[in-house]
A and B are shown apart, each in its own frame.
Chain A
Amino acid sequence: MSWIEKLYQTYENNTDAIGSRSDSVPLLPICHTTQNAHISISIDADGNFLRATVLPKLGARTIIPATEDSAGRTSGTTPHPLCDKLQYVAADYGEYGGEKDPCFDNYIELLKKWIAMDNLQWKLKAVATYVEKRKVIADLVKASALYAEDDSRLIDEWTSENAAPEIFRLLPGGYDNKGKKKPWQADAFVRWSVETPGDPQPEVWLDQGLWRSWENYYGSLKSTKSLCFVTGAEIPLADQHPAKIRNDGDKAKLISSNDLSGYTFRGRFTSADEACGVGFQVTQKAHSALRWLIARQGRRDGEQAVVAWAVSGADVPDPQADTFSFLFGGEQTAPPKVGYTAQEIGAALSKRIAGYTAKLKSTDDVVVIGLDSATPGRMAISYYRELTGSEFLERIESWHTGCCWQQYFGKDRIFFGAPAPRDIAEVAYGRRIDEKLRKATIERLLPCIVDGALIPRDLVESCIRRASNRNGIEYWEWEKALGIACALFRYHHKERSYPMALDRELRSRDYLYGRLLALAERLEERALYVGGEKRSTSAEKLMQRFADRPYSTWRVLETGLTPYKVRLNGKRHGFLNAVQQEIDAVCDLFERDDFSSDKRLSGEFLLGYHCQRAALRPVAGPDATDKSEDSDN
């Protein structure tokens, strides 16, 4: 089903959440938008000024009724019907030095029309009575919410030595370094509070009766009906579609047509409404739902936003999270620091998935949508997928269990699991990856997670190449690359079902060569430690060459080990023996021609390397007697 219809349904299923103050971006009632208010003015039911407060930034977000034009305004004279800037609500704006066109007349006209339609709303009447006294700014100055010089002009900028009052922190005034005027006191946005004894909700912007009243009034203005391309019904169509989808400053629209010259639809059609129409309520609700979802559970990365949600409103896991943050991200308790084993992660994962299954019905629709924009004004749907709830959870689980390896994301984040797309992109193309490439890579990885598709081979290869070359990158970065490359390779070759622990039976050439490399590294490392030296081993230095020409490089490595063997022979005899035995065992496993071939190694050798290295870790190392005196690594 189309994306907009799904969003519309989501809105309808979540009407309880409308205006909820627990969301940072609330689900809006239709024909409403949000604005950050600066001043709250309290009046009584007869329209007498009581007091004014300057609002702290935190509680400033206000739901305000808006017309289609006013919600889409960039500058100009279309007022919001109830709460607006001083330029609109204060008739004495000009007298106090306001420089923009005063728009009080438009404002009061709109408000009066609304009152005429629904005269039960006494709060509206109180506001209208009050603003018609034409002394809003005068009152604000008297109440010390705004400051004026000689009672005639608002102060542009606080120049006095004394600490600046609240309002100057919100609207500092003055000029920026380009010489443009910054917002000042006269740009303050006002919201109302009408206080009467016995009324529990004085704030007009939280009054649900007012929301409905405005919806009804505004809906009644639209009389011409036409076919809605989403619902297929004959309903009043929207003239404009909402913006501000990804954040408050976002001007990009999903549906827009302001050009008759771009030839996007012309030819067969002569105007945009011939080409396409969407019901007013449909677009309002759908966009409001999308905005709410992105803020609540989406992921934004520059222009790109990706969000997965259930149409029913149930919680769904974030497909872009790595296993660690998927398991512990939302929880208050601190996750275990290190040493989390594959089994424990597996158990935690199925528990977490079961938690979702309890709330998300198997037939519930889950939608994943990716948004992106190339220019500031327009937004494109770059990814869209619908699944059933059970399918989605299955895919998420199989991603986390299938693309799983021991990850080293810094000391506090060692875990078994899948990496996040963002981390994969950074490993594949380096940390200073171009933003466009990163977005494109994330987009290519989404189908791997959401549809269970194979990871593109070039990405896997690229990660493997980076993990094989540890020169020039920092240790932790290389460790991270190694974990991710192993995870990707393992997922790419699902059919081979590689174990995460060392497999001593596996006779595949690349795997065995990986083991040899780890053994050589370990032997040399220990010898260096014993000799009190601190430098990188030749295995580390030659890793890249080893991956390209294993046979000839192994000759170099093995002959290079002789002096270290001599050194270990005296002090760590047991250890040396164990490693040598292991090397011999590995060499024994090779098929005859495999060993002597100098063919390039595939990513499989990283698996062998990683497993063998983990098996050699001193905790359960082969040389038990050595453990007490030895605490390297």
Chain B
Amino acid sequence: MRSRIDFKVTGRFALFTDPLTKIGGEKCSYHIPTYEALKGIAKSIYWKPTFVWVIDKVRVMRRIRTQSKSMKPLVFHGIYPSEKDPAKKQEPFNTLAIYTYLADVEYQVQAHFEWNPYRNDLADDRDPDKHWHVAKRMVEKGGRQDVFLGTRECQGYVEPCAFGEGKGEYDGCGELAYGLMFHGFDYPDETGTRELHSRFWRPVMKDGVVLFPEPKEFLQQSSDKAREFVREMIPNPPSSNGLREEGLLDELD
């Protein structure tokens, strides 16, 4: 089945937030992208509920460089009128924070799609050639939706490439271990359970390339992969099944 695409994604900044630094608000980026962030980029390029993107590997092309920026995040409880003190007219809209971004990034990504087994209603749409060709076309066009690297303010740009092509700055650099890192979320519409889980693993970058394990590998307990139950979540997938939706054809008449 032809389902694999390669693409290159670049950006001036990237912020793959380390969850430890997320809850307090002073975000700091991981040094390498997470599976979930790359999956999001693949989905921005092209996505249908028929299938699920699986990221195979990523290649870090440029030297990992961080840069901190002073930010003024919004204070939501401070917006007029103040929730804390209604008598007071207004509280500051902003607080101050220092975010640490990755600067000047370029990644080569290889991904493929797999049918989502929990969308039997879309079984008729499981046409590998069609989706593959559309996906390839969309990579050439730079994606259907905006691409961003980790967070919304880090705009990214997608181009076609052949994975492994060109010179990367980590070629021949050997292995680099990153400790326990966030991998991605198991959302209920892709697992078929009414639960949200987060996945953790211990990535090793070898000569600039990180091979991602597939989400289903996390279902078995192992020492280097962890899966944590977060909370109940009710799946709410897009429900239309195209022209077969009841009454839809009548409207055309």
Q: Are B22 and A276 in contact (CB under 8 A)?
A: yes
Q: How far is the CB of B13 from chain A (nearest CB, A)?
A: 15
Classify the secondary structure of B's interface with A.
Answer: mixed
| Contact of B110 with A by CB under 8 A | no
Q: How far is the CB of A274 from chain B (nearest CB, A)?
A: 5
| Contact of B231 with A by CB under 8 A | yes
Q: Are A275 and B231 in contact (CB under 8 A)?
A: no
Q: Are A272 and B23 in contact (CB under 8 A)?
A: yes
Q: Are B185 and A268 in contact (CB under 8 A)?
A: yes
Q: Are B178 and A373 in contact (CB under 8 A)?
A: no
C-alpha gap A38/B196 in the complex (Å): 52
Interface centre among A226, A253, A381 (most CB of B within 10 A): A381
C-alpha gap A375/B95 in the complex (Å): 8
Contacts of A255 in B (CB 8 A): 20-21, 23-24
C-alpha gap A372/B21 in the complex (Å): 13
Per the 8 Å Cβ criterion, residues 261-283 of A in contact with B are 261-265, 268-270, 272, 274-276, 278
C-alpha gap A261/B25 in the complex (Å): 12
Q: How far is the CB of B197 from chain A (nearest CB, A)?
A: 11
Q: How far is the CB of A380 from chain B (nearest CB, A)?
A: 4
* Stretch with Cβ within 8 A of A (4 or more), from B2-10, B42-50, B70-78, B243-251: B70-78
Q: Are A378 and B97 in contact (CB under 8 A)?
A: yes
| Contact of A315 with B by CB under 8 A | no
Contacts of B228 in A (CB 8 A): 226-227
Interface centre among B22, B74, B180, B181 (most CB of A within 10 A): B180
| Contact of B68 with A by CB under 8 A | yes
C-alpha gap A72/B234 in the complex (Å): 38
16 A-B residue pairs with Cβ-Cβ distance under 8 Å, sorted by A, are A5-B179, A226-B228, A227-B226, A229-B19, A232-B180, A232-B226, A255-B20, A256-B24, A259-B77, A261-B76, A261-B83, A268-B230, A276-B19, A372-B68, A374-B96, A383-B66
Q: Are B77 and A261 in contact (CB under 8 A)?
A: yes
Report if A382-B23 is in contact (Cβ < 8 Å); known contacts: A2-B181, A274-B230.
no
Report if A374-B98 is in contact (Cβ < 8 Å); known contacts: A227-B228, A256-B24.
yes
When the two chains form the complex, which single residue of B26, B177, B178 contacts A379, counting CB atoms closer than 8 Å?
B26
Q: Are A269 and B202 in contact (CB under 8 A)?
A: no
C-alpha gap A259/B84 in the complex (Å): 13
A 1-45 to B, binary, CB cutoff 8 A, 1 in contact else 0: 110110000000000000000000000000000000000000000
- Give me the 5 closest cross-chain CB pairs, A-B, nearest first: A1-B179, A380-B26, A257-B23, A374-B96, A380-B98
Contacts of A2 in B (CB 8 A): 18, 20, 178-181
Interface bin, chain A: 35 or more
| Contact of B113 with A by CB under 8 A | no
| Contact of B99 with A by CB under 8 A | yes
| Contact of A551 with B by CB under 8 A | no
Per the 8 Å Cβ criterion, residues 310-331 of A in contact with B are none
C-alpha gap A499/B87 in the complex (Å): 70
Q: How far is the CB of A306 from chain B (nearest CB, A)?
A: 12
| Contact of A254 with B by CB under 8 A | yes
A 372-411 to B, binary, CB cutoff 8 A, 1 in contact else 0: 1111001111111000000000000000000000000000
Interface centre among A253, A261, A270 (most CB of B within 10 A): A261
Interface centre among B24, B65, B66, B96 (most CB of A within 10 A): B24
C-alpha gap A91/B178 in the complex (Å): 53
Contacts of A383 in B (CB 8 A): 66, 68, 100
Contacts of A1 in B (CB 8 A): 177-179
Contacts of A379 in B (CB 8 A): 26
Give the interface of A toward B (CB within 8 A): 1-2, 4-5, 226-227, 229-232, 253-257, 259, 261-265, 268-270, 272, 274-276, 278, 372-375, 378-384, 436, 443, 447, 451, 453
Report if A374-B70 is in contact (Cβ < 8 Å); known contacts: A2-B18, A227-B226, A232-B200.
yes
Q: Which residue from chain B places its CB closest to the CB of A436 in the assembled complex? A: B70
| Contact of B105 with A by CB under 8 A | no
Q: Are A382 and B226 in contact (CB under 8 A)?
A: no
B 179-208 to A, binary, CB cutoff 8 A, 1 in contact else 0: 111100100000000001000101000000
C-alpha gap A19/B253 in the complex (Å): 84
Q: Which residue from chain A places its CB closest to the CB of B78 in the assembled complex? A: A261
Q: Are A269 and B77 in contact (CB under 8 A)?
A: no
Q: Are A380 and B200 in contact (CB under 8 A)?
A: no
Inter-chain pairs besides A274-B230, A373-B98, A384-B66, 4 sampled, C-beta below 8 Å: A2-B180, A227-B226, A276-B23, A383-B66
C-alpha gap A230/B75 in the complex (Å): 29
When the two chains form the complex, which single residue of B21, B77, B181, B196 contacts A268, counting CB atoms closer than 8 Å?
B196
Contacts of B196 in A (CB 8 A): 268
Q: How far is the CB of A479 from chain B (nearest CB, A)?
A: 33
C-alpha gap A231/B100 in the complex (Å): 23
Q: Are A381 and B25 in contact (CB under 8 A)?
A: no
Q: How far is the CB of A3 from chain B (nearest CB, A)?
A: 8
C-alpha gap A189/B224 in the complex (Å): 47
Contacts of B200 in A (CB 8 A): 227, 229, 232
C-alpha gap A255/B202 in the complex (Å): 21
| Contact of B58 with A by CB under 8 A | no
Q: Are A275 and B21 in contact (CB under 8 A)?
A: no
Per the 8 Å Cβ criterion, residues 20-69 of B in contact with A are 20-26, 28, 63, 65-66, 68
Report if A381-B226 is in contact (Cβ < 8 Å); known contacts: A1-B179, A265-B23, A374-B98.
no
C-alpha gap A265/B83 in the complex (Å): 20
Q: Which residue from chain A places its CB closest to the CB of B103 in the assembled complex? A: A447
C-alpha gap A375/B23 in the complex (Å): 16
Q: How far is the CB of A510 from chain B (nearest CB, A)?
A: 31
Q: Are A262 and B76 in contact (CB under 8 A)?
A: yes
C-alpha gap A144/B9 in the complex (Å): 74
Q: Are B76 and A265 in contact (CB under 8 A)?
A: no
When the two chains form the complex, which single residue of A232, A272, A384 contacts B28, counting CB atoms closer than 8 Å?
A384
Contacts of B68 in A (CB 8 A): 372, 380, 382-383, 443
Contacts of A232 in B (CB 8 A): 180, 200, 202, 224, 226
Q: Are B180 and A263 in contact (CB under 8 A)?
A: no
Q: Are B97 and A231 in contact (CB under 8 A)?
A: no
Q: Are B22 and A265 in contact (CB under 8 A)?
A: yes
Contacts of B202 in A (CB 8 A): 232
Q: Are A257 and B24 in contact (CB under 8 A)?
A: yes
Contacts of A276 in B (CB 8 A): 19-20, 22-23
Q: Are B230 and A375 in contact (CB under 8 A)?
A: no
Q: Which residue from chain B places its CB closest to the CB of A272 in the assembled complex? A: B23
Q: Are A253 and B24 in contact (CB under 8 A)?
A: yes
Q: Which residue from chain B places its CB closest to the CB of A277 in the assembled complex? A: B228
Contacts of A382 in B (CB 8 A): 68, 98, 100
Q: Are B25 and A264 in contact (CB under 8 A)?
A: yes
C-alpha gap A436/B98 in the complex (Å): 12
Q: How far is the CB of A501 from chain B (nearest CB, A)?
A: 34
Q: Which residue from chain A places its CB closest to the CB of B25 in the assembled complex? A: A264
